[in-house]
Amino acid sequence: MNNPDFIRYLEQRRLRPSSQALYLRCLARISTYFDASLDRLDSTQIQGYIRYLQKQGRPKRYINVEICALNHYYTCQLRQGLRKDNPAQHLRLRGVPRRRLIDLLTPTELGEVINAYQQRWPQDLFRQAALSMMVYQAATTADLTSLEARHISLAKAEISFPGTTTTAARRLPLSATQMMLLARFLNGKKPDEKPFLGAKPLTNRLGQLLRHQFPQLGPPAERIKKAHQIRASVIVHWLKTTDIRQVQYQAGHKYVSSTEVYQKQDIQTLQEALLKYHPMGKIP
């Protein structure tokens, strides 16, 4: 399906390109099924399509994405004055299994993790520095591997992430507790040197941290199973006190829809895991 007006609508919604492509594929499938323009469909026909998908054994989550694509399409038509109703607006299958919960940590608990690690392995400046940026700047592994020593300014107390294929460039303040650590970590490194080496060495060292070292520290560190737990915890906390657009910038999200996923989470009463796909596109 190639509808310029609808594509423009999706872009205005600030959906990720992968999400836009997904919805276009959904609509193409539906149009092929009916062998007719989507403009003429009504609620009864769409319900018939849903029953068809159920008979095909499609999971509820898959069907709901198809419905969501139609809902977007007809919302676009309503805005253009091409329709007076949205036949997909109130259609949605219930009983979709919830995803596994993510165990989020509070800022205090994350601080305890850093302190415990520094006390147990005081000479391991590499992992200490990486962990501090994950906790205070919500850095991803891609952010860390893209850094050069010159991107970290101790004089200005700030760090500039250059941006990656999945995250946007951003400049963030350093925490006062990071300054001495980073001064030691960067000592002797050239401005264009990558302090966290390449992606593979960093991934290997963080894997050691998560699988072997955190369990030795006990709670709360032993609760951290994946690096994304730390990033999710930080972003959810930011959203409690900071405007969503500012959090989008701080997190390096290219699309606000990525940040909105975290906005729906609550650190005390988390109802559902952060979706790995939103709606089926990777969340950075």
The pTM of the full predicted model, rounded to 2 decimals, is: 0.64
Mean pLDDT, the chain, as a whole number? 86
Distance CA 228, CA 105 (A): 11
46-102 pLDDT, tens digit each:
999 999 999 999 888 889 899 999 999 999 988 888 888 899 888 888 876 555 557
Q: For residues 114 and 128, is the Cβ–Cβ distance under 8 A?
A: yes
Distance CA 207, CA 201 (A): 10
The stretch 132-143 carries a mean pLDDT of: 95
* Residue-range domains of the chain with CATH: 4-80 (1.10.150), 107-263 (1.10.443.10)
Which residues are paired to 277 by β-bridges?
282
Distance CA 179, CA 221 (A): 23
Amino acid identity, residue 193? E
Give me the pLDDT at residue 236, please. 92
Distance CA 161, CA 142 (A): 10
Give me the pLDDT at residue 138, please. 96
Give me the pLDDT at residue 234, please. 96
Amino acid identity, residue 249? Y
- Give backbone dihedrals phi and psi of 159, rounded to 5 degrees, phi first: -130, 140
Amino acid identity, residue 29? R
153-196 pLDDT, tens digit each:
999 999 999 988 788 999 999 999 999 999 999 999 999 999 99
Q: How many CB atoms lie under 10 A from the CB of residue 116?
A: 18
